[in-house]
Amino acid sequence: MPTTLNPGPAHRLGIPPWASDDRSAASEHEHSEDTVTPTPRAAGRRHAIGWGLVLAALVGTVALGVQPAPYVIEEPGPVFDTIGDVDGAPLLTVEGAPTYPTEGELDLLTVHITGSPEAPATWIDVARAWFDARRAIVPLEAVYPPGQTDEEADEESQAEMTDSQQEAVAAALTELGTPYQVRMSVGSVIDDGPSAGVLQPGDELVSLDGRALADLRDAIAAHGTSSPAAVGIRRDGVARTESITPVDADGVLVIGVTVAADYDFPVDVTVSLDGVGGPSAGMMLALGVYDLLTPGALTGGEHIAGTGTIASDGEVGPIGGIRQKMYGAVEDGATWFLAPSTNCDEVVGHAPDGLRVVRVDTLDEALAAVQGIARGETQDLPGCGSVG
């Protein structure tokens, strides 16, 4: 899901101009020496006019309130137990390897969004959200890039969820030391980057400097930026080598492409979770897969929730809507919450009462936290307030 941004200042409704004018007129009348007693008919007309103005103001306010607003509203969405059932069926099913019974809960969390380019939120929605700590007001363009349709946004979100599921399985198997095969290819080429005009989407990435690729990022970092790297690819079944010089992008060495991974796992993992998109369920799905593939209950029966993207190497990444997810967790009964360290600035001072947040950077740290909670050894678990 997208990172929550702080909305602009609230628009407060003041006293209507006509009310101020009426009070000024009344004050002048009280201090005038030449007073005139109104007739009953004139007083009745003024009374009717006054109520007419009040009614017109109310109608105008309502009409303004139902106008489309350039914001979306984020609030806690449904909660799903990765080691539990959804509509009577297991959320996670693993075939091709022994699985073990478990207990407790490992909840993944979602954010419900009100508003889209084709079905915008109203100013009334925005006003209601302003006074609700469970909700966030986010600029529309932060969630839906300009020109993107609702259908395109849904397709992108589902693609992110599919990728997240694959990365979660890869991360769990990596943690277990179970080998698997992966084919990396170019997902997209960044305009004006080192690979622009050289690589194409769909090119299979085979090697770098003559060495088979296990992790492109590590291989690029090992090569450095001082000279061209020999990038071996396969395009339309034909092997070729291209010279590409990596560049430094905010401290990370890159060749200007996004990478798509096609995994061949020794187990078949099915995720039964319709209507949920985005990459933020990755860490909790990885924990669920790990729990099913190992003897004993990972949670020790505890109710633990969490969020975070996951990479095949176990790195946990930031997500959007973490405040809403914390509220969703505590409302569902969780007492523990695993959060990416990179989201800690949004956690501090905003965690609901009754929820203890543990910060993690990797799947290994998340596993250690869950195991510590299960054993009751929680005094040394790092919270977001202890960062730095």
Cα–Cα distance for residue pair 95/116, rounded to 1 Å: 39
pLDDT tens figures, 345-358: 999 999 999 999 99
pLDDT tens figures, 164-178: 999 999 999 999 999
| pLDDT > 70: percent of the chain | 82
CA torsion sign for 34, 39, 42, 43 is positive
**Contact yes or no for 312/172 (Cβ under 8 A):** no
- Residue 101 Cα distances to 91, 93, 306, angstroms: 14, 12, 21
**Contact yes or no for 245/52 (Cβ under 8 A):** no
Highest mean pLDDT among 53-57, 61-65, 347-351: 347-351
Whether 63 has a pLDDT exceeding 70, the answer reads: no
pLDDT band at 156 (very low <50, low <70, confident <90, very high): confident
Cα–Cα distance for residue pair 170/2, rounded to 1 Å: 24
pLDDT tens figures, 236-260: 999 999 999 999 988 889 999 988 8
pLDDT at 261: 87
Instruction: Over range 148-173, report the average pLDDT.
Output: 91
- Mean pLDDT rounded to a whole number for the chain: 85
Domains of the chain: 75-120+157-177+266-386 (3.30.230.10), 181-263 (2.30.42.10)
Cα–Cα distance for residue pair 1/4, rounded to 1 Å: 9
Nearest-CA neighbor of 293 among 80, 85, 96, 89? 96
Q: Which two tokens mark 218? A: 């590590």
Nearest-CA neighbor of 370 among 336, 323, 327? 336
Instruction: Over range 322-351, report the average pLDDT.
Output: 96
CA terminus-to-terminus distance, the chain: 27
Read off the DSSP letter of residue 343: G
Burial class from Cβ neighbours inside 10 Å (0-12, 13-18, 19+) for residue 205 reads: buried
* Interacting residues of 360 by C-beta distance below 8 A, sequence separation 6+: 283, 306, 308, 316, 338, 339, 340, 341, 366, 369
Nearest-CA neighbor of 340 among 374, 388, 306? 306
Read off the DSSP letter of residue 204: E
Return the minimum-mean-pLDDT range out of 81-90, 118-127, 225-234. Answer: 118-127
pLDDT at 244: 96
pLDDT tens figures, 129-140: 999 999 999 999
pLDDT at 296: 94
pLDDT band at 52 (very low <50, low <70, confident <90, very high): low
